Amino acid sequence: MSRSIRLAVIPGDGIGPEVVAQGLRVLTAVLPSDVKLETREYDLGARRWHATGETLPDAELESLKEHDAILLGAVGDPSVPSGVLERGLLLKLRFAFDHHVNLRPSRLYPGTAGPLAGRPDIDFVVVREGTEGPYTGNGGSLRTGTPAEVATEVSVNTAYGVERVVRDAYARAQARPRKKLTLVHKDNVLVYAGRLWKSVFERVGREFPEVTTDYLHVDAATIFLVTQPERFDVIVTDNLFGDILTDLAAAVSGGIGTAASGNINPDGTFPSMFEPVHGSAPDIAGTGTADPTATVLSVALLLRHLGYEREAARVEDAVAADLAGRAGAAARSTEETGSALVNLVS
Amino acid sequence: MSRSIRLAVIPGDGIGPEVVAQGLRVLTAVLPSDVKLETREYDLGARRWHATGETLPDAELESLKEHDAILLGAVGDPSVPSGVLERGLLLKLRFAFDHHVNLRPSRLYPGTAGPLAGRPDIDFVVVREGTEGPYTGNGGSLRTGTPAEVATEVSVNTAYGVERVVRDAYARAQARPRKKLTLVHKDNVLVYAGRLWKSVFERVGREFPEVTTDYLHVDAATIFLVTQPERFDVIVTDNLFGDILTDLAAAVSGGIGTAASGNINPDGTFPSMFEPVHGSAPDIAGTGTADPTATVLSVALLLRHLGYEREAARVEDAVAADLAGRAGAAARSTEETGSALVNLVS
Ligand SMILES: CC(C)[C@H](C(=O)O)[C@@H](O)C(=O)O
Ligand SMILES: CC(C)[C@H](C(=O)O)[C@@H](O)C(=O)O
């Protein structure tokens, strides 16, 4: 049997190309020899925008569709006005490819530093809605720039959108040993959106009688993430709360250097996109010191999404072994970490 | 000279009455003997709602106005549908009395436990906008309860509202030794509200040339709160981000048991309201074990707001001394902690 993966690669800005290079090395090393990996690189991000003014031309969007998955490094640079690349590239991809399941696992690997280091019981996954909420761009401003300005942002939530991500989260909880799902929202203040999320959460829950459920306000959830992270198994939440909680989750587990994410279109109509949670880190770009671990773990999510479960597990085991061995060792270069992981998966 | 304070007291639900009782003891003990303290208690909260269906009748709202300040314990109970007391009482007070400066200091007192214990350099204050953003109740839902439901929440931001809270935050930063102000928002996604906040922040900043400024996206801010809390001095942010960040700030500093807040109407048109950040904690209500420290620190904010700066400092020093002495000691009752603080301020 001959299989193939058509992978679109968006290295992006800053440390993006550096970490993506290592992610691809590990991917190549772990794939069975009969799997043909075809990659195509896309020059998108700050450099391209400065050169041409383009963020994501239609032709490229179309061409990206011809792939099985997308691997993205990081996008963004202080020289580009805030929002241009986020709305014009990153969010455009998430919305155009209907990446409604934004998957962000948090695991505290033995050996990692950080405020909660040494607690092996942190192992949860945030299922963040990816195509609705305050991310829809439904805002505006009136009398802009005057003392009478009014600026609004509208969070849009649909039963359709909430139900599909909630059901996905239940299914993930069901497949995990602890089978626990926590809904995070702020339904005591955001009463309309909150009512919708909570009622869908309860209704869909009837299809998953084995899953234990829980509800937390987003403010309380941040406290528990720091003080009792072991209480979480799967969390489902809206786009903005998910954005905030997953950065916090990264901080309290292995750090932002190990936080992976998948922007998933579960039905496969469009390619899913995998990227580290961290940004382009222009301050350390070019120094060869960025940690490629988050990208490598994103490659694991990519492999699992494409059905290569065994290879995904091998990559994750390699990362665990590598992190465990790192404790106390001298700082390594991006390339050295990549090589260590390549060796471990080969 | 004879002075007086007319204080409205809303003990509320759960542990509210227990912690408020200790707050009042400390307040009475610290006030100079020539200050007459007149308190009037308001029966508002879950009990009242169950009994009468009322959350905050107009007559009571009017009568609260006749006071110099309000001390609130905590409001809420699982038996009341989410949102009823929040919108009908807590937020109603904040909006009716134009509490646009929601002040939440975070200090890691020596002796306190928690993930970052032992770091004496945590000392910042969050100035959270209190009357706009996603808290305005400007949402709605269409085809409610059907598979075609759409639910929206509108974040409303005005130049008027943003400017006054930003100016207040600059003035606070200016008065502190480090003179640093960080704006937290998410202007790469919430582009309209973000543009307004950022432009007002820059414009008002010109009036405070000594204040160093900084901007962080809310997701990045959660990371720094955990990993580098010492980088913060004063933070100014919107209503919802402020809600989330201050619970997190409490978790990483002294814990939610020491987090105080003031809902301030700076021009004094209406009474300001002081309350612990924690909730009514029904699980421990009646056990006499709630920590009244957050309420006592809220009393310090109240004293400072009314011009009793020396007394405010005495209360804060007492809390610091008490927390430092607590390390390793047996758990104390609410009353014992109150007595210890009364002794320290007397
Ligand atoms: C860059 C930004 C648009 C993005 C988001 O807010 O989703 C990022 O923070 C993330 O979490 O992937
Ligand atoms: C109870 C709730 C309405 C309130 C808020 O969201 O402001 C609380 O969380 C707070 O921070 O004071």
Q: What predicted TM-score, i.e. pTM, was given to this entire model?
A: 0.96
Angle at which helix A16-30 crosses helix A293-305, to 10 degrees, equals: 50
Which chain A residues have a beta carbon less than 8 Å from that of B149?
A: 158-159, 196
Contact between A99 and A263 (Cβ < 8 Å): yes
Measured from the Cβ of residue A250, the count of other Cβ atoms closer than 10 Å reads 27
Return the CATH architecture of domain B123-252: 3-Layer(aba) Sandwich (3.40)
- Average predicted confidence (pLDDT) for chain A: 95
Residue B61 is which amino acid? L
Local structure of A273: helix, strand or coil = strand
pLDDT at B331: 85
**Looking up tokens 């609705």, which residue turns up?**
A132
Contact between A236 and A171 (Cβ < 8 Å): no
Contact between B227 and B247 (Cβ < 8 Å): no
Dist CA B97 CA B163 (whole Å) = 18
Dist CA A300 CA A23 (whole Å) = 9
pLDDT at A109: 83
Residue A219 contacts B where some CB pair is shorter than 8 Å: yes
- Average predicted confidence (pLDDT) for chain B: 95
pLDDT at B328: 67
pLDDT at B326: 80
Mean pLDDT over residues B280-309, rounded?
A: 97
Ligand in nearest proximity to the CA of B99: 2
Tell the residue nearest (CA) to atom 3 of ligand 2: B86
Is B68 a known active-site residue? Answer: no
Contact between A52 and A44 (Cβ < 8 Å): no
Dist CA B16 CA B11 (whole Å) = 5
Q: What does the block give as tokens for B95?
A: 């909006």
Q: What does the block give as tokens for B107?
A: 């200090």
Which chain A residues have a beta carbon less than 8 Å from that of B116?
A: 115
Tell the residue nearest (CA) to atom 9 of ligand 1: A243
User: From A247, which residue of chain B is nearest by alpha-carbon distance?
Assistant: B219
Min mean pLDDT across A72-81, A83-92, A102-111 is at: A102-111
Percent of chain B with pLDDT over 90: 91
* Site to substitute for ligand 2 among B55, B86, B263, most atoms within 8 A of C-beta: B86
pLDDT at B110: 77
Smallest Cα distance from B279 to chain A, Å: 10
If pLDDT is split at 50, 70 and 90, which confidence band does B255 have?
Answer: confident
The catalytic residues of A are: 135, 186, 219, 243, 247
CATH 3.20.20.60 assigned to domain A1-100+279-346? The reply is no
Dist CA A192 CA B152 (whole Å) = 7
CB pairs under 8 A between A and B: 204
pLDDT digits (tens, 9 = 90+) for B113-126: 667 666 768 899 99
Min mean pLDDT across A98-112, A126-140, A317-331, B172-186 is at: A317-331
What residue ranges do the domains of chain A occupy?
1-100+279-346, 123-252
Contact criterion met (CB < 8 Å) for A155 and B159: no
pLDDT digits (tens, 9 = 90+) for B177-229: 999 999 999 999 999 999 999 999 999 999 999 999 999 999 999 999 999 99
Q: Rounded to the nearest whole angstrom, what is the distance from the C-alpha of residue A13 to the centroid of ligand 2? A: 39
Contact between B73 and B295 (Cβ < 8 Å): yes
Mutate one of B196, B199, B217, B226 to test the A interface: name it (highest A CB count within 10 A).
B226
**Looking up tokens 């408020």, which residue turns up?**
B20
CB < 8 Å from A in window 161-200 of B: 163, 186-196, 199
pLDDT at B114: 67
* Site to substitute for ligand 1 among B216, B217, B219, B223, most atoms within 8 A of C-beta: B219
Contact between B38 and B6 (Cβ < 8 Å): yes
Contact between A80 and A49 (Cβ < 8 Å): yes
Residue B220 contacts A where some CB pair is shorter than 8 Å: yes
Q: Is the pLDDT of residue A337 over 90?
A: yes
- Strand B212-217 with B35-41, pairing: unpaired
Contact criterion met (CB < 8 Å) for B154 and A156: no
Q: Which helix (H) or strand (E) holds A105?
A: strand A101-107
Report in angstroms the alpha-carbon separations of B158 from A279, B130, B132: 30, 13, 8
Residue A61 contacts B where some CB pair is shorter than 8 Å: no
Contact between A45 and A89 (Cβ < 8 Å): yes
If pLDDT is split at 50, 70 and 90, which confidence band does A151 have?
Answer: very high
If pLDDT is split at 50, 70 and 90, which confidence band does A120 have?
Answer: low
Q: What does the block give as tokens for A106?
A: 């948090």
Q: Rounded to the nearest whole angstrom, what is the distance from the C-alpha of residue B45 to the centroid of ligand 2? A: 14
Contact between B3 and B278 (Cβ < 8 Å): no
Q: Do domains B1-108+268-346 and B123-252 have the same CATH topology?
A: yes
Identify the residue with better confidence: B326 or B68: B68
pLDDT digits (tens, 9 = 90+) for A196-240: 999 999 999 999 999 999 999 999 999 999 999 999 999 999 999
Q: Ligand 2 atom closest to Cα of B94? A: 7
Question: Sign of torsion, CA B125 B129 B133 B135?
Answer: positive
What does the CA dihedral B285, B291, B297, B303 come to, rounded to 10 degrees? 60
Contact criterion met (CB < 8 Å) for B156 and A154: no
pLDDT digits (tens, 9 = 90+) for A236-277: 999 999 999 999 999 988 788 899 999 999 999 999 999 999
Dist CA B66 CA B39 (whole Å) = 11
- Strand B123-129 with B101-107, pairing: antiparallel
Q: Ligand 1 atom closest to Cα of B217? A: 9
Q: Is A290 annotated as a binding residue?
A: yes
B61 lines ligand 1 (CB under 6 A): no
User: From B113, which residue of chain A is nearest by alpha-carbon distance?
Assistant: A227
Region B1-108+268-346: CATH code: 3.40.718.10
pLDDT at A93: 98
Q: Is the pLDDT of residue A118 over 70?
A: no
Percent of chain A with pLDDT over 70: 97
Mean pLDDT over residues B44-69, rounded?
A: 97
Identify the residue with better confidence: A3 or B95: B95
Percent of chain B with pLDDT over 70: 97
How many CA atoms lie within 13 Å of B56's alpha carbon, on the beta-carbon side?
21
If pLDDT is split at 50, 70 and 90, which confidence band does A114 have?
Answer: low
Supply the DSSP symbol for A86: I
A82 lines ligand 2 (CB under 6 A): no
Q: What is the side-by-side order of every strand in the sheet holding A69-74?
A: A35-41, A3-12, A69-74, A272-276, A260-264, A101-107, A123-129, A234-237, A180-185, A212-217
Q: What angle do CA A302, A304, A306 make, to 5 degrees?
A: 70
pLDDT at B108: 86
pLDDT digits (tens, 9 = 90+) for B40-53: 999 999 999 999 99
pLDDT at A331: 85
How many CA atoms lie within 13 Å of A182's alpha carbon, on the beta-carbon side?
24
What does the CA dihedral B102, B113, A235, A76 come to, rounded to 10 degrees? 70
Across the strands, what pairs with A182?
Answer: A214, A235
Return the closest-CA partner of residue A181 out of A195, A155, A196, A200. Answer: A200
Contact criterion met (CB < 8 Å) for A196 and B141: yes
Across the strands, what pairs with B103?
Answer: B127, B262
Q: Is the pLDDT of residue B2 over 70?
A: no
Dist CA A330 CA A337 (whole Å) = 12
Local structure of A318: helix, strand or coil = helix
B191 lines ligand 1 (CB under 6 A): no
Which chain A residues have a beta carbon less than 8 Å from that of B155?
A: 134, 139, 152-155
Contact criterion met (CB < 8 Å) for A152 and B151: no
